[in-house]
Amino acid sequence: MEAALKMQETSYVTAYGYEVEQLIHGPVRSADLVHDIFICISASGNSFERMKNFAETLRSLNSAVIEITDSKVSEEKNVVLVKKMDEDLSPLVNLIVLQLLSLSVAVARGKNPDSFRSDDPAFVRMDEMIKL
Amino acid sequence: MHKSIMEQPAAFKNILTSPNRDYGDVSSILRKAKNIFLVGTGSSLHAALFGRFILEKYVEKKNIVVYSSFEFSNYTPNLSKNDTVIVISHRGYKMYSYDSLKKARNAGCKTIAITGISSTIKKGDADFILTTVEQEKSSAHTISLTGALAVVLRLAVTSKMKEAQGGTGTWETCRINSPGNGKGTRTGKRTHGSVKENGFFPQNMDMWWRPQLNNSHGSSIENAGDKLRHSLWI
């Protein structure tokens, strides 16, 4: 969810963050399996097999998959291998990868990752009207 | 944003190691609390979700609930003076986060704010204020979030250490006694009681990550510290 938020804030893309089972149970039906990109984060632990299985399924359907994992089990492309650690601490490592990815996407799309759209008059107006 | 991302390992280490006796006091409060509420918005809410996960593992069995600030403020749960409310807010000025603190205080709860340096949350707004990092220039928060995660992790480990020492230990007093030669020779002894401020932190950080507690909890703390250190390049 944090990665999706960072993508939204820096690149202004539509992004969603789900736990794998939540995604399978509905939201994935609204996905464009050809054009959307799935970033699958699988740390060794209880959810590992389920996420791996989902990533493999997406690949078999020719969907674009980026995998962040601590256990490389295949020679698939677009796999970011991170250090293996306890599942409960894994967000601390995966987070940094996803932050860097968000930054890279923003730069690639020609967006200023720091601006929060403050250079867009409509959003400036929004900030004036809605107090945080 | 890039600068903030790259500064995270150092900030993380700094938060985990800076002298701050409040962590001992706050972990005592957490251990005594009936319910612990973690409250935040946006990335602070995500820090709260991580906090629940990690506190549930390290703090004695507690009912830990995560609320968005908006929800906590507008649909406030039943609170009692035995509850502890932790509000996470990087900048401190968001009205629902501030209002959540206020509602918790009015209900007699113990209140803890996890917030950035130079935040608008001031002394008196909460019983304890645990600071993270300087305010970020980028609105897409990165190091602020990691800072909040570090604070939560330190609270969790401090609580676990207190539990291991029968409620008398603190983060600082759990450390192995530094031989003072900077080489980090392990003595296996822990310092208790009146430890001089300058003696809390062995020059060799490797020692700090290995508390070597002589009980069944030691290994999990040690593993967590090791894995963090290796993974975050500390």
Q: Please give the pLDDT value at position B168.
A: 53
Chain B contact for A17 (CB, 8 A cutoff): no
At which residue do the structure tokens 């969603």 appear?
A: A16
Q: What is the extent of the structural domain holding A46?
A: 2-129
Number of structural domains, chain A?
1
Chain B interface disruption, residue of A96, A102, A111, A119, most B CBs within 10 A:
A96
Task: Please state, as a whole number, how many other Cβ atoms lie within 10 Å of the Cβ of residue B110.
Answer: 21
Q: Please give the pLDDT value at position A72.
A: 75
Smallest CA–CA distance from A7 into chain B, residue: B140
Q: Please give the pLDDT value at position B206.
A: 34
CA angle A66, A69, A71 (to 5 degrees): 130
User: B150 and B11 in contact (C-beta within 8 Å)?
Assistant: yes
Which residues of B are less than 8 Å from A99 in CB distance? 1, 5, 142
pLDDT in tens, A26-61: 999 999 999 999 999 988 899 999 999 999 999 999
In eight-state DSSP terms, residue B94 is -
The two tokens of residue A41 are 């984060």
**What CATH code is carried by the domain that includes residue A125?**
3.40.50.10490
What's the one-letter identity of residue A8? Q
Chain A interface disruption, residue of B6, B16, B46, B94, most A CBs within 10 A:
B46
Q: Which domains does chain B have, with CATH numbers?
A: 2-163 (3.40.50.10490)
CA angle B124, B125, B130 (to 5 degrees): 95
Q: How far is CA B93 from CA A49, A132, B47, B106, B139, in A?
A: 42, 8, 17, 19, 14
Q: What is the pLDDT along chain B (234 residues), one digit of tens a residue?
A: 999 999 999 999 999 998 888 999 999 999 999 999 999 999 999 999 999 989 988 887 788 999 999 999 999 999 999 999 999 999 988 899 999 999 999 999 999 999 999 999 998 999 999 999 999 988 899 999 999 999 999 999 888 887 776 655 444 444 433 333 333 333 333 333 333 333 323 333 333 333 333 333 333 444 444 444 444 443
pTM (2 d.p.): 0.80
Give alpha helix (H) positions in A27-120.
48-60, 90-108
Residues 6+ apart with CB under 8 A from A126: none
User: B211 and B176 in contact (C-beta within 8 Å)?
Assistant: yes
CB contact (8 A) between residue B145 and residue A114: no
Smallest CA–CA distance from B46 into chain A, residue: A2
Q: List, as own/partner pairs, every contact residues B176-182 make where C-beta atoms lie below 8 angstroms and the sequence separation is at least 24, other chains included.
A: B176/B202, B176/B207, B176/B208, B176/B210, B176/B211, B176/B212, B178/B202, B178/B203, B178/B207
Q: Please give the pLDDT value at position A30.
A: 95
What's the one-letter identity of residue B222? E
Over 90: is that where the pLDDT of A102 sits? yes
CA dist B100 and B85 (Å) reads 9
Q: Please give the pLDDT value at position B164.
A: 72
